[in-house]
Amino acid sequence: MTKLLDVANLTVGYGEAIALDGISFSVARGEFVTFIGPNGAGKTTLLNNLMGVLQQKSGTVTFGGEDLKTLKPEARVARGIVIVPERRELFPGLSVEDHLRLGAFLRRREGRARMASALDRIYALLPKLKERRRQLAGTLSGGEQQMVAVGRALMAEPQLLMLDEPSTGLAPRITEEIFEAIDRLKAAGMTGILVEQNAHLALSVADRGFVLEVGNVVASGDADNLRQDPRVLAAYLGAGDRYREIATDT
Amino acid sequence: MIDTVLFLLVDGLTNGLVYALLALSLVLVFTVTRVVNIAQGEYVMLGALTLADLLQGRMPGTLYLLIGGLVLCIVLDAGRWRRDWRQALLYTTGLIVAGVAALALTRCALALHLPVIGMMLVALILVAPLGALIYRFTVHPIPNATTIVFVIISVGVSMSLQGVALLIWGANPYPVDPIAAGGLMMGPVFIPYQSFAILITALLAMGGLYVFSEFTLLGKALQASAMNRLGAQFCGIPVNMTGALAFLLAAAFSAVSGMLLAPLITANYEMGFMVGLKGFVGGAMGGLIDYPLSLVGVMIVGGLESTSAYVASAYRDVLVFSLLIPILLWRNTRSRVEARR
């Protein structure tokens, strides 16, 4: 598999504080990786840097062979790096369909037919959006807003889809719906980076996982192996007690 | 008595419409770029003086500003040549072509002795790009500056533009022809045709802005940048482009307002500041973010202005600007109620 994204010795910080301390990883085309870890581990910082909102102190990020350093967010979107941000960043006074159309802003010259077929694809993936297409985003429920954010990102036809905590603040049923959509995207060959606090959920979707703790990668590997890793179990899967019980039994 | 009231009403409405275009400009610029543009009134002055020059058959001094600005743009973007020379070449050629086209257009218009409406269009084409140029020089380099920094910058822009205008046009007032001379007796009141022209132009401009922002993707992108700058960037919307577009459209609205106003008060280099501030008082009613409330605000300003000009003409401006105090108090209580909810 060819590398799509290559991150080497990436250090990012806010002023003096270091949020990411020289991390390296790569993502192959068609691969879904996940970053799990507690609050403040640097997960969102990583995505903000990849998106071009936050400059790195040192290290390089290469995407499709190109150094991203000087590129602004809109230039990165044009290259196919698209984010579903944690706070969704919707436009409260615009309708659901407006959001989707704006998601394809950079492809606006491709004509009405392409726009219509792209819209249809999103509505097939997230049928709830079709029901709500004329509704203003500010009046939607949290789950529906999350779907709008996902749909808007997909309209840009991402090469690399980055999802920042898509399950935050959502009811379990809605979370399930969103993760089913992510599963289908992955099955269709989408490359992605998923950042999650819910490690169990994240590892069930991703191919590979990285455990991030105070700016460092402390564990990584295949999602299936990582799910069995006692350290991960103890710290992030909320199964620590059960693990200890099993350990003392035997 | 009733005659006087009707006359004041018409007069107030006319003033209000002129300020309405200005308030629209202010709201547009503020929502998209977070700049409280004190310099907005200067485009009123530039519009009026450009039209005055064109109507009297002179090459308008605005061309110095426009071409100078384009040259400065090329100089500021010199670094681009090293990064991507093809794009730089395209950009530079584009700007040079734009400058030459503006010159040619002006010469043609002067040779053809276009009617007032035609000259207004030409003046509009010359003044509107100045808005985008000023955005490029003042806001573009520091997109994340605080509101107060932008206010200070816009005061500076306002003073510089007035100074440059004084240099180009001198301190003399210039008469400007109305779109149509004369007027109409409607019942007891005489309504000049210019008032109708102002009404129609203002409605067309507002309608145009509405159609643009509701029915085109670029208009939606402008709204999106106003509602959530980060979200817009994540959609790939270049926020510098939407910011420049907001400045350009605002300059266009203000210039039109100046061209409509000039026949009533003659054009001079310092006419813009006052008009700008009055549009600002109206816009404050809507907190600089609410179009309909701003329109209500400017209508109140227009009405108060014409009434006070009749009752106590020496205190006209004092009364209009005192209006700002109750407006701010009202906004304050309103926002407190909203915060409590």
Residue A151, domain extent: 92-157
How many domains does chain A divide into?
2
Sheet holding A32-36, edge to edge: A81-84, A160-164, A191-196, A32-36, A208-213, A216-222
Cβ of A93 and B236 within 8 Å?
no
Is A87 among the domain residues? no
Q: What is the pLDDT of residue B77?
A: 86
Do residue A100 and residue A219 come from a single domain? no
Instruction: Look up residue A249 and give its amino acid.
Output: D
Do residue A37 and residue A50 come from a single domain? yes
**Would the pTM count as exceeding 0.80?**
yes
List, in sequence order, every residue forming a beta bridge with A28; answer none if it has no partner: A3
Q: CB–CB of B316/B309 below 8 Å?
A: yes
Is A85 among the domain residues? no
Is A51 among the domain residues? yes
Q: Can you give the C-alpha Rg of chain A in angstroms?
A: 19
B289-308 per-position pLDDT tens digit: 889 999 999 999 999 999 88
Identify the residue with better confidence: A57 or A244: A57
Q: What is the pLDDT of residue A163?
A: 96
The CB density around residue B118, as the number of other CB atoms within 10 Å, is 13
Instruction: Look up residue A69 and give its amino acid.
Output: K
Average pLDDT, chain A: 89
In the DSSP assignment, the letter for residue A136 is B
The two tokens of residue B329 are: 């108090």
Of A142-146, A244-248, B82-86, B309-313, the range with the lowest mean pLDDT is A244-248
Residue partners of A75: CB distance under 8 A and separation at least 6: A52
Do residue A162 and residue A138 come from a single domain? no
Binning pLDDT at 50, 70 and 90, where does residue A245 land?
Answer: very low
- Which of A73, A92, A94 is the closest to B234 by Cβ? A73
Is B136 among the domain residues? yes
User: Which of A128, A157, A186 delimits the end of a domain?
Assistant: A157
Chain B residues lying within 8 Å of A72, measured CB to CB: 233, 238
Q: CA-CA distances (angstroms) from residue B103 to B41, B71, B106? A: 25, 14, 5
Q: Is residue A78 over pLDDT 60?
A: yes
How many domains does chain B divide into?
1
Do residue A61 and residue A173 come from a single domain? yes
Residue among B185, B313, B193 at smallest CA distance from B264: B193
Do residue A208 and residue A99 come from a single domain? no
Q: Is residue A250 over pLDDT 60?
A: no
- Which of A74, A88, A98 is the closest to B237 by Cβ? A74
Is B197 among the domain residues? no
Within 13 A of A216's CA, how many CA atoms are on the CB side? 2
Within 13 A of B107's CA, how many CA atoms are on the CB side? 6
Chain A residues lying within 8 Å of B232, measured CB to CB: 91, 102
What is the arithmetic mean of pLDDT over A18-41?
A: 92
What is the arithmetic mean of pLDDT over A201-207?
A: 92
Cβ of B223 and A90 within 8 Å?
no
Is B192 among the domain residues? no
Do residue A194 and residue A215 come from a single domain? yes
What is the arithmetic mean of pLDDT over B258-287?
A: 91
